[in-house]
Structure 1
Amino acid sequence: MPDTASATDAPDASAVTGRSITLDGVTKRFRGQQAPAVDSITLEIPAGQVVMLVGPSGCGKTTTLKMINRLVEPTAGRILLGGEDVTDIDGDRLRRRIGYVIQAGGLFPHMSVAANVALVPKMLHWDAERIEQRVNELLELVSLDPDIYRDRYPRELSGGQQQRIGVARALAADPPVLLMDEPFGAVDPITRQRLQDELIGIQHELNKTIVIVTHDFDEAVKLGDRIAILDEGARVVQYDTPERILSDPADEFVEDFIGSGAGLKQLSLRRVRDVELIEAITVTPDVPSVDALARAREAGHDHVVVLDRNRRPVAWPSLRELERLPQLPSRPRADLPLVGTGAPLNDALDTMLVTSVGGALATSDRGQFAGVIDVETVMRAITEVREQSVPDPDAPIGTNTSDMPAVTKVDDDDD
């Protein structure tokens, strides 16, 4: 393994494996309720993009999500999946083609991790060898070692691990569409950030079509290619990119929903991958600690990064720690400051502020080490963003200087 690792350009995105979703005048009326829960929503979701549905409680966003896979049957309108009307498809068959993730993963407590992940492939009559291979592949994808976790039960997992298994199960049969209903709402903030980072990495690799319901606008900005802000009855108030919604909200409702600090939220649009990461000395756990110490001193570094066989960070000991360690750690430390390269710089800064190192380890797809990011790098980037966001004093008030037209309905080939 080389002595140093540095940031590299992100790998080319894989081919889009998702399918477009079209909601055409979709309405849902529940018996006994005068007003419709969803009132004639029309929305086009491009293949391979992440679309966030946000809005106040009771606005119909979860009902809209559930109508896509017909957990809730629409009263009127059409729902097209890649041009195919879902009402013409058997409901059970349809749901096997669409991944679905809820809070806490929705795992079956009496089934092992492997059995939970294998549920849909077994329904599709995959052979045992193919199922075992797929389970192992997906556990690796969500950063869980199959040798350690496949035979465990949900009660033996943390909340974050259960949520990872829920995502793995939803992806088991390689569906083109993934629906997620408040997927990270039941975990602590640090775990939520890491799960969001992992989802960004998974999507960068797989390019599914993902629709996520959330009440957290910051989460919508972080994860979404596009955000649909809904009012009562799932009325689409604005459907656009995070950049456009923050810089040019459609009306006062959107402004109120965004809340104060829209300028600060714009800073979250700058990602870890947009800045130059710092090289680090990397070693594997089998390297003697005295050798790791010698390498770091020779290179003039204060720390080394210990990586496992998959190049995932395990530890980040300082020279002083290396002097005391009889051998390097082989299991990941719980307090390791990690941030995904797809994460916003705000998240990176938050991660650094709870450590004494003044930096964080950036990880790319599948949690592989990409480089080190420090406070100085983030502050320089934030300063650049602030300078770039200063409005032109000569521009007329109310003028939208963006070259991108406002978006209320988009086509699959719209960039």
Structure 2
Amino acid sequence: MSESSDAITGASILLDQVTKQYPGQAKPAVGGLTLEIPAGSIVMFVGPSGCGKTTTLKMINRLIEPSSGKIVINGEDVTKMDGDTLRRRIGYVIQAGGLFPHMTVAANIAIVPKMLGWNKEKISARVDELLELVSLDPAIYRDRYPKELSGGQQQRVGVARALAADPPVLLMDEPFGAVDPITRQRLQDELLNIQAEVQKTIVMVTHDFDEAVKLGNWIAVFDEGAQLVQYDSPERILANPANEFVENFIGSGAGLKQLTLTRVNEVDLVDAITALPGELASDVLSRLQGSGQQQAVVLDSRRRPVRRLSRRQLSRLQIIDDTVDDSMPLVSDQSTLNDALDTMLVSSSETAVVTGRRDVFRGLINVQTIMEAISQANSAATADSDAPVGLNSGAIPALAVENAIAADSSGEANGQAEPQSTGESR
């Protein structure tokens, strides 16, 4: 995860011997699960279908009532709280956002604030703030209906709605599973950018291990009955899977998955010649020729990239207009190097345009930079091949966890506490 100076607004979550036993079932869907989720972290639940991931997620906000055990959020046992009151304090996102089709975007986002008795002015300001946060222009989107949005836009609105009342916890049940790969990558990047600003506690269910590696501070690998096989950082799960089950779940190509651990914001970006709509094309061309670069990046009034112009294109123009090029190779600084390389290959381009928070232009990344980073990572991995990889969270006592934190800086780099668990459900 990227470094951020923003304060953590998420809440710690403790599942203490949580069990869900359905009538007539020989085995529990979730059997005595104990799991601690640190405040402000993203924890990914992965495992085969039917293993209890979604059941566990839904028990946190009591859409499914646990048969026994405690669920403690910021020190409060929420199993003793009114369920409706609890759910208004927890954001929940499902596939396609789960928007109400007969309500506008603004009305969808405003649902919980209205329930909490916020006044109209406060709700309107919050709707606009959240649409800005998820990179949707309020002037364009607040009065649209879900059917007028793309799948990716619907999902962004779903995230905005879940954040409407500023809840400390956000639960996400395979939120990006129904969109195409390119939109999925952009939504993942957007979530990381949002998390860098809001620092909530996010618990997400996914079937995609690559997604878990990309998004998670911590990954919980479940087997049948929500047996917790391994609960660890993505780096350590890839380097040291707990057993054959985890190895098989990761699948072949674990070495390639290491490429998803390095983000665009961790490498040096290339500066670019930029232009604004309304500028003389000849002025931009002069700057471009003096730089030795081949293309200029056109930015809008909020410094968001809208298109690239080559020297030949500039020579044919008089004034730079505000035309948007949807095919421009674009990645977030939260994207992985693997994402960036994919984007360049799909667009047949040697460079991609990089954006940061609120889609603001950051610079360019090129194939050479990625290849150098991969080479350095491979060299480092070879040099450290005999070094201990640290925590493998079987039944680990607290002291061992503290020692692992001291020995391994990955938890500090993420700005998150080390999670603890019993290592299995009983």
- Alignment check: 8 A CA contact 1:282 1:304 kept: yes
1:414 to 389, 414, 418: 418
Query: Is 1:237 matched with 2:237?
Result: no
With 31-40 and 329-338 compared, the bigger mean Cα shift is at 329-338
Aligned-pair identity (%): 63
2:347 to 346, 349, 355: 355
**Equivalent-residue separation in structure 1 for 2:338 and 2:297 (angstroms):** 23
Query: Is 1:24 matched with 2:16?
Result: yes
Gaps of 5+ in 1: 1-9
Query: Is 1:258 matched with 2:250?
Result: yes
**Equivalent-residue separation in structure 2 for 1:237 and 1:161 (angstroms):** 35
Equivalent residue number for residue 211 of structure 2 = 219
2:124 to 114, 126, 132: 132
- Alignment check: 8 A CA contact 2:44 2:219 kept: yes
Any idea what SS the aligned residue of 1:390 has? helix
1:114 to 106, 113, 138: 106
**Equivalent-residue separation in structure 2 for 1:322 and 1:372 (angstroms):** 19
Gaps of 5+ in 2: 403-415, 420-426
- Alignment check: 8 A CA contact 1:27 1:74 kept: yes
Whichever residue aligns with residue 375 of structure 1, its letter is V
Any idea what SS the aligned residue of 2:117 has? coil
- Alignment check: 8 A CA contact 1:100 1:179 kept: yes
**Alpha-carbon distance, 1:307 to partner:** 1.4
Query: Is 1:405 matched with 2:391?
Result: yes
Any idea what SS the aligned residue of 2:261 has? coil
With 290-299 and 183-192 compared, the bigger mean Cα shift is at 290-299
**Alpha-carbon distance, 1:44 to partner:** 0.2
2:280 to 257, 273, 288: 288
Query: Is 1:367 matched with 2:374?
Result: no
After superposition, give the CA deviation of every residue in 1:255-274 in whole Å (9 maximum; x if it has no partner).
Answer: 00000111111121111111
Equivalent residue number for residue 372 of structure 2 = 380
After superposition, give the CA deviation of every residue in 1:244-285 in whole Å (9 maximum; x if it has no partner).
Answer: 000000000000000011111112111111110000112222
Whichever residue aligns with residue 60 of structure 1, its letter is G
**Equivalent-residue separation in structure 1 for 2:221 and 2:120 (angstroms):** 44
Distance verdict in 2 for CA 1:413–1:260, change over 3 Å: closer
**Equivalent-residue separation in structure 2 for 1:327 and 1:166 (angstroms):** 39
2:44 to 41, 52, 57: 52
Any idea what SS the aligned residue of 1:260 has? coil
Whichever residue aligns with residue 47 of structure 2, its letter is G
Distance verdict in 2 for CA 1:120–1:331, change over 3 Å: farther
* TM-score, length basis structure 1: 0.93
**Equivalent-residue separation in structure 2 for 1:11 and 1:290 (angstroms):** 40
Equivalent residue number for residue 6 of structure 2 = 14
**Equivalent-residue separation in structure 2 for 1:213 and 1:170 (angstroms):** 16
**Equivalent-residue separation in structure 1 for 2:319 and 2:141 (angstroms):** 25
- Alignment check: 8 A CA contact 2:240 2:392 kept: no
- Alignment check: 8 A CA contact 2:20 2:31 kept: yes
After superposition, give the CA deviation of every residue in 1:113-137 in whole Å (9 maximum; x if it has no partner).
Answer: 1111111111111111111111111
Query: Is 1:69 matched with 2:22?
Result: no
**Equivalent-residue separation in structure 2 for 1:104 and 1:407 (angstroms):** 34
* TM-score, length basis structure 2: 0.90
Whichever residue aligns with residue 218 of structure 2, its letter is R
- Alignment check: 8 A CA contact 1:179 1:212 kept: yes
Any idea what SS the aligned residue of 1:268 has? helix
Q: How many residues align?
A: 400
**Equivalent-residue separation in structure 2 for 1:34 and 1:124 (angstroms):** 41
Any idea what SS the aligned residue of 2:126 has? helix
Equivalent residue number for residue 90 of structure 2 = 98
